[in-house]
Structure 1
Amino acid sequence: MGTPLGDFIRAKRDSIQPEQLGLTDHGRRRSPGLRRSDLAGRAGISVEYLTRIEQGRDRNPSLSVVNAIADALSLSVADRTHLHHLAKITGGACAGRTRPAPPDRVVRPGAAATLRLLEPGIAVLTNGLGDILAHTSGFALVTDGTGLLDDDTPNLTRFVFTDPRARSLFPDWDTVADELAFDLWTGPSRDAVEWFSADLATLAGPEFTRRLNLHTPPPPSTLRVDHPSGHRLRLDRETLELVTDAQRVVVYLPADEETAGALDRLRSEHSRHRPGGLRLVA
């Protein structure tokens, strides 16, 4: 007996021609669409495992397998969302589980006091999901006009993977994306990370999901920022882990004299238009 998940995957596979995915058409097939072996190869799973999922004999594929199949089929955002829903009601990928409580967004007085000492420098308090909990006026200055802080609950990870402005802001976008995906492995809880990742995967697609299971820490690097005002910044980063809260303070320091001068000009340009001081977002 099939399942909604297996039926959907098989239907999508049957509707896709190999050339749509850049694959070689090997001639006549017994059924239309993509061969099971082609889909399994693209998803990095065995043909036997894919067969069990399609036939309903395996009702508990992991979130990483569901994401891999979505990537292999090049699903749209709407189809990805539907695939995750079917996985849940079929019995896999978080099925039957209650959404965990979100990570604590409370900013302790000590953490806030630490950020105040860093004014007017560039510093931000985040958790392992990339939620921005508090930031200095310097951080607001560097991100002004980018859209990052426009949300009531800004999240750096979501911004980088879903907002096209992030690619203009970060010339080394791939490196930044690798870092943020890896940071999820040190998130506040495994359950919270899985739910956050499942939600983000439907929007961000393969650029996010293929990085999620790399498990390889990116090498340290200087962050390059192309500010909307035209200033080009190179920033070194120092991270202070707040172990008791699963939160961290990231301090951004100018990596060269050119960046230091650009930051001074930015402060001068914005001093009359934007109030200074620490901002608590949480």
Structure 2
Amino acid sequence: MSSTPLGDFIRTKRDSIQPESLGLPERGRRRSPGLRRLDLAARAGVSVEYLTRIEQGRDRNPSAAVLHAIADALSLDASERNHLRYLAKITAGECPSHTRPAPPRRDVRPSVLETLRLLEPGIAIVTNRLGDVLARTSGFEAVTGGTGLLDGDVPNVTRYVFTDPRARALFADWDDIADQQAFDLWLGPSVESSAWFTAELASVAGPDFARRLNRHVVPQRGVLRLNHPAGPALQLHRETLDLPTDEQQLIVFLPADEQTARAVEQLRHRPLGRLRSIS
């Protein structure tokens, strides 16, 4: 049986739903948990054979109406519906396995860099969905200094989370952050770029990365909790501005409480770097 991101997501969601939660009758003991394919097909108004083809990757281009019906049948929320549509696009245009796509662009527009400068000395970065830190403020350098996150010519949060032992000490909720970074690879700058980075990371990140990548669970993004090596515990809100034409994001981190605000101010008095852009 072949597999596609779309089929994996539908099957994962189906397995996670208890029939009783949808008002369906109990049909006796089952070999596998979750919603039967028969029941999902009936709720979506499609044949079991067609749903099987989608789940097994033998039909890679279902219509928008079918996707909408499946989303309704699975009672997906807004984030999950967006993910379903995105995976449908990936599945319909997946890269051939015999080609190795080129890495994504890493240049940042001057106007975006100027916006970042206006946020100084705040905590902000420009990144893409692959986790590349393309530019950052001195405030971001202050709160991540000594953690290893910004080591290397092209810092990458996703690679850091899965391959650097220091990440588990820095992120108080490492499991949640790992889920978020893996999930965001599905929203990469392009199918080609995401495939390139995933192939590169899989060889060094191990099976835990692959497991999280293929879970297709839309993560909840709460307060970011950091354990800074200098001592202070930080709690930060994240505000994200999408830059769709650049396939990038501007992320601003704001202290979530007075204790964090004081700790950030202390960290800013440490030796600071300058705004940096990676090109």
State the TM bucket, normalised to the shorter chain: 0.5 to 0.7
Partner of 1:216: 217
The number of aligned residues is 188
Aligned pair 1:179/2:180, yes or no?
yes
Partner of 2:38: none
Partner of 1:70: none
* Structural mapping, 1:115-194, within 5 Å: 115-194=116-195
Q: What SS class does the counterpart of residue 96 from structure 1 fall into?
A: coil
Partner of 1:42: none
Partner of 2:16: none
Counterparts of 1:279 and 1:175, CA distance in 2:
28
Measured after TM superposition, the shift of residue 279 of structure 1 is 1.2
Counterparts of 1:219 and 1:139, CA distance in 2:
23
Counterparts of 1:225 and 1:255, CA distance in 2:
12
Counterparts of 2:105 and 2:199, CA distance in 1:
20
Counterparts of 2:122 and 2:102, CA distance in 1:
33
Q: 1:189 to 1:264 in 2, by over 3 A?
A: same
TM-score (norm 2): 0.64
Partner of 2:105: 104
Query: Could you list the per-position Cα deviations for residues 17-40 of structure 1 after superposition, in whole angstroms to 9, with x for gaps in the alignment?
Result: xxxxxxxxxxxxxxxxxxxxxxxx
Is residue 104–residue 245 contact of structure 1 (8 Å, CA) maintained in 2?
Answer: no
Measured after TM superposition, the shift of residue 106 of structure 1 is 1.1
* Structural mapping, 1:251-262, within 5 Å: 251-262=252-263
TM-score (norm 1): 0.64
Q: What SS class does the counterpart of residue 249 from structure 1 fall into?
A: strand
Counterparts of 1:157 and 1:120, CA distance in 2:
25
Is residue 129–residue 157 contact of structure 1 (8 Å, CA) maintained in 2?
Answer: yes
- Deviant stretches of 4+, over 6 Å: none
Measured after TM superposition, the shift of residue 94 of structure 1 is 5.5
Aligned pair 1:279/2:279, yes or no?
no
**Structure 2 alignment gaps of length 5 or more:** 1-56, 58-94
Measured after TM superposition, the shift of residue 95 of structure 1 is 4.1
What amino acid is aligned across from residue 272 of structure 2 in structure 1? Answer: R
Query: Could you list the per-position Cα deviations for residues 83-126 of structure 1 after superposition, in whole angstroms to 9, with x for gaps in the alignment?
Result: xxxxxxxxxx95421x2221111110111011011100000000
Measured after TM superposition, the shift of residue 146 of structure 1 is 0.7
Query: Could you list the per-position Cα deviations for residues 150-180 of structure 1 after superposition, in whole angstroms to 9, with x for gaps in the alignment?
Result: 1001110000000000000001000000111
Is residue 120–residue 137 contact of structure 1 (8 Å, CA) maintained in 2?
Answer: yes
